[in-house]
Amino acid sequence: MTEAPLTRERILEAAEDALRRFGPGKATVVDVARALGVSHGSVYRHFPSKAALREAVTGLWLARMMDSLTAVAEEDGPAADRLRRWLDLLIAAKRTRACGDPELFANYLQLAAGARAVVAAHVAHLVQQVARIIGDGIAQGELSTPDPAAAARAVLDATGRFHNPAHAAEWTDPGIDAAFEAVWTLILAGLRTR
């Protein structure tokens, strides 16, 4: 039986597993070490703190979520359609994770509450993708807005209720889809100014 070496990757895997099994409140670094058959001190050789380990797990989790979004952001085609599909995907991804991956979502929620670097990076990444879609729309004459970067940030801010985890409790409201439709109508019109 070969002994796999203790790598950053194996620790992240075990940490994500522990986080999912026990939740962000109960998972300890001793749990992670036990799953790997090592002492908890060894984990601290690869991560400076438990917080750093949690952030790294969240980073991977967010990165996986970004994959399908990136695909839409990099498509060709009408910018308005792409932006709408991109937002739908973002909202669906957040909702799916809130329901289907509650422990890791709670973990993300906690990190988002404190202004952790990994979350800021995630938001910056989202803004960049929206900016790209809006930029394409302007290039094709489909959209028109004075400051595309500001508009991208504004689109994310304006739709925050539907994807910001701070509002997760509202996502089961019956009127939530109608509310998004109204906001979408408003901002799409705003992006089409001439």
Partner DNA sequence: CGAATGACAAAAGTCAACATTTGTTATTCG
Partner DNA sequence: CGAATAACAAATGTTGACTTTTGTCATTCG
Contact residues toward its own copies (CB under 8 A) are: 145-147, 150-151, 153-155, 157-161, 166-167, 178-179, 181-183, 185-193
Q: What is the DSSP letter of 27?
A: -
Rounded to an integer, what distance in angstroms lies between the CA atom of residue 126 and that of residue 128?
5
By CB under 7 A, residue 185 contacts DNA:
no
Would you say the C-alpha torsion 133, 79, 185, 180 has a positive or negative sign? negative
21 vs 64 by CB, closer to DNA: 21
- Least distance (Å) between residue 70 CB and its own copies: 23
Contacting DNA (CB under 7 A), which of 8, 9, 21, 26?
26
Provide the 8-state DSSP code for 48: S
From 48-56, 68-76, 80-88, 102-110, give the range in contact with DNA by CB under 7 A: 48-56
Taking CB under 7 A as the rule, does residue 117 contact DNA?
A: no
Nearest partner of 167 among 185, 150, 183, 152, judged by Cα: 183
Strand, coil or helix: 39: coil
Q: Among DNA, its own copies, none, what binds residue 147 when CB lies within 5 to 8 Å by partner kind? A: its own copies
Contact 123, 156 (CB under 8 A): yes
Cβ atoms 164, 108 nearer than 8 A: no
Side chain identity at 57, as an amino acid letter? V
Min dist. Cβ of residue 147 to DNA (A)? 41
Selected binder of DNA within 13, 44, 91, 188 (CB under 7 A): 44
The answer to whether 21 contacts DNA (rule: CB under 7 A) is no
- Alpha-carbon gap, residue 60 to 107, rounded angstroms: 13
Q: Which residues contribute to the site for DNA (CB under 7 A)?
A: 5-6, 25-26, 28-30, 37-42, 44-45, 48-51
